[in-house]
Chains A and B, each alone.
Chain A
Amino acid sequence: MDFSEFGRHAEYVVAAYAMAAVVIGALIIWVRTDKTRLEKELQALEASGIRRRSTRRAGPSVSQATSVPANKKNEK
């Protein structure tokens, strides 16, 4: 494709792709920052001695929650 022949409607094509980049970029940033914030919150709770019931029984820390077997009843 020759960009010099993009045509008189180039601004509409650019606007569509630019908005797609902004929306997808914003979604990725939102999901990543949310994860970071939640992980920090979990660590802060763990540091203050608060633990999940299943982890208190099993032993390991909350920050290892993704790999610790949990009681299904506690998840909801």
Chain B
Amino acid sequence: MTLYDLANPTRFLKLVKVVLPWLIVATVAALAVGLYFAFFVAPEDYQQGQTVRIMFVHVPSAQLALMCYAMMALSSVGSLVWKHPLADVSAKAAAPLGAAFTFLALFSGAVWGKPMWGTFWVWDARLTSFLVLLIMYLGIIALWKAIEDPIKAAKVNAIITLVGVINVVIIKFSVEWWNTLHQPPSIIRSGGPAIHSSILIPLGLMALAFVLLFVTLHLMSMRNEIMRRRIRAMRMRAASAAPAASSSTITKAAPAGAR
């Protein structure tokens, strides 16, 4: 099956039907293993103590928030350039998930910040740009709802999503470009991760679990969106057929009335 074949929503739905049960099992298993490692295998940090365990929720959420936006940007390219039938469905379905994980990253960051920094929030570049990401997600969701025609909504949202990619770059490099309270990169950086393997492995497992969770929820949301569009198409067909049916009734009725 090629990517072109998947452009047909019916074929895509068939694939989702096969893949989804396996994805659900994999997600539950990965979450169970990840949580076990996070609470029972990973040691407490010599400086942070038990609060280091917040990292196992905070980092995967933040990575997903960025990954989801990057995926929406790719979908937007697919929507604008190739007019791929599922690209705008994918972008629309991802937005609420991205908003949820961005909120979770902000919340877990705040409750991690209070015991470590002495404050829930500070207007530094990383935190502020992440808050902007949440606002952008909410704006994109609102725009999808505000424009009734899904094709027009997809075009407008694709352009706005691509413009918003600049914020993802700012988030990524904010801790290097500016002096922030948030720590510099400690996983993806030159010289390798700065985290000991005893904490890095549980973090990797939780990150994998979150990615699987996102893929599962995204496929389920895409399936819902395809159904929503089918319902809309059926309602429009019914509405456009209604005047024709009534006019044909009038045409038939007119000669009878003339008699």
Q: Which residues of A contact B (CB under 8 A)?
A: 1, 5-7, 9-10, 12-13, 15-17, 19-20, 23-24, 26-28, 30-32, 34-35, 38-39, 41-42, 45, 50-53, 62, 65-70, 72, 74-76
A40 to B226, CA, bound (A): 15
Q: Decide yes or no: A66 and B17 within 8 Å by CB, A19-B107, A19-B108 being known contacts.
A: yes
Within 8 Å CB of B107, what residues of A?
A: 16, 19
Interface-located stretch among B4-12, B133-141, B168-176, B184-192: B4-12
CB pair A31 B233 closer than 8 Å: no
Asked if B231 contacts A31 (CB within 8 A), the reply is no
Q: Check B85 against A72 for contact (C-beta < 8 Å).
A: yes
* Contact between B9 and A16, CB atoms less than 8 A apart: no
* B31 nearest in chain A by CB position: A24
Q: Which A residues are CB-close (under 8 A) to B229?
A: 75-76
Interface size class of B (residues with CB under 8 A): 35 or more
With a cutoff of 8 Å between Cβ atoms, the chain A residues found around residue B259 in the complex are none
Residues of B within 8 A of A28 (CB): 217
- Whole-angstrom CA separation of A69 from B213 in the bound complex: 29
Q: Please tell me if the beta carbons of A69 and B10 are within 8 angstroms of each other in the complex.
A: yes
Partner among A15, A52, A76 whose Cβ is within 8 Å of the Cβ of B150: A76
Minimum Cβ distance to chain B for residue A65 (Å): 6
Known: A23-B104, A27-B100, A76-B151. A53 touches B9 (CB 8 A): no
User: How many Cβ-Cβ contacts under 8 Å join chain A to chain B?
Assistant: 125
Q: Contacting A12 at CB < 8 Å: which of B51, B231, B233?
A: B51
Asked if A51 contacts B234 (CB within 8 A), the reply is: yes
Min CB gap B50→A, angstroms: 4
B interface, over-half SS: helix
> What are 16 inter-chain pairs, A to B, with CB distance below 8 A?
A9-B50, A12-B115, A13-B54, A15-B111, A16-B107, A16-B112, A23-B101, A38-B224, A45-B234, A50-B234, A50-B235, A50-B238, A52-B234, A65-B230, A66-B13, A67-B17
Report the nearest A residue to B114, measured CB to CB.
A12
Chain B residues within an 8 Å CB radius of A13: 50-51, 53-54
Best-buried of B10, B221, B226 by chain A (most CB within 10 Å): B10
* Chain B 210-252 interface 0/1 with A at a Cβ cutoff of 8 Å (1 = within): 0001000100110110111111011101100000000000000
Mark out the residues of chain B between 81 and 99 whose CB falls within 8 Å of any chain A CB in the assembled complex. 85, 88, 96-97
Cα-based distance from A15 to B228 in the complex (angstroms): 36
> 1/0 contact trace for B140-181 toward A, CB 8 Å?
000000000011000000000000000000000000000000
**B97 contacts across to A, CB distance below 8 A:** 27
In addition to A1-B39, A13-B53, A34-B224, 7 A-B residue pairs with Cβ atoms within 8 Å of each other are A13-B50, A31-B217, A50-B235, A65-B10, A66-B13, A72-B85, A76-B151
Asked if B103 lies at the interface with its beta carbon under 8 angstroms from chain A, I say yes
